[in-house]
Amino acid sequence: METNSDQFIRYLATERGLSAAYQLSVRQTLDALSGWMKSRDIKLQDLGTDELAAFLSQRKTDGLNAASLRITTVHLKVFFRWLVTKGLLEMDPAEPLLAPRPDMTLPETLHASELVKLLDSIDSSVPLGRRDLAILELFYSSGLRLSELCKARLEMMDFEEGFLRITGKGGKTRIVRVGHKACEAIAVYLTNERPDLVTKKTSSHIFISVRGGPLSPDRVRQIVKERAKLAGIDQNVYPHLLRHSFATHLLEGGADLRVIQELLGHADISTTQIYTHVDRQRLKAVHKKFHPRG
């Protein structure tokens, strides 16, 4: 089991180009399965669907929630499909497994008026004001993940067309739209503030620190929280909240779900569909508040 697990992880890394975080997640699933098999003296060739179902049941007993069990099931399906493809197993015992439905957790969002309040509160005349405004404008304009914003480089930005080329999850490259307000804020920062932060070791990352290095994800989280606090916003504000708000506000404005999927870089439309539930919740709240018999 250990040898096959190692080979599978190498396959994910070298042939599929999946992230180190994903590889670690799969490794944890396979290590848990290996330990479960050893405790019951079960060999890989003896694993059937019933045994895998019993393993998943044990994981649930151990405290895994529905979402984690769903991910674990997907890991098992991909692993055993690979074993069959390689001729290491004749039958795929994971194929009949049904992944549990994840608990419906609606993403938090920030109201459009609160976002305007946040962006308008930043004074561009103070040190790092231009940089921080550009960061927040880009988050809200393009729905970037935190890691994507931190990795954004100057050569990826097309100001004339208003696009940014980024590399997202799984090493996939996509083109995201950057609105005119965000383009303007980034241009002002690049012209009037970034040059003063540059050192001999500075790379081409768009957003850099006072020491000239690229901003870390932790520092960007801190910037977002600090700016929200200064704006007098009581809600917990973090980078992914801005991404959720970007998608939700597009949907409320009438954007097609497929377009939102492409902008967010979701591989599966089902991931994007969570925002339709947010919109339904809003419609229910409005109806209840304003309809005479709501």
CA distance 195 to 212: 9
Is there a catalytic annotation at residue 227? no
The distance between the two most distant Cα atoms of the chain, rounded to a whole number of Å, is 69
Contact between 75 and 26 (Cβ < 8 Å): yes
Active-site pick, 111, 181, 266, 282: 266
Active-site pick, 77, 131, 151, 243: 243
Contact between 29 and 72 (Cβ < 8 Å): yes
Per the listing, tokens 């957003």 go with: 207
Is there a catalytic annotation at residue 219? no
What is the end-to-end Cα distance of the chain in Å, rounded?
Answer: 58
Active-site pick, 77, 131, 140, 275: 275
CA distance 240 to 139: 9
Is there a catalytic annotation at residue 145? yes
| Paired strand residues for 165 | 175
| Paired strand residues for 82 | none
CA distance 240 to 208: 20
Is there a catalytic annotation at residue 169? yes
Active-site pick, 59, 145, 227, 249: 145
Active-site pick, 81, 221, 225, 240: 240
Active-site pick, 169, 177, 181, 221: 169
Q: Show which residues are catalytic.
A: 145, 169, 240, 243, 266, 275
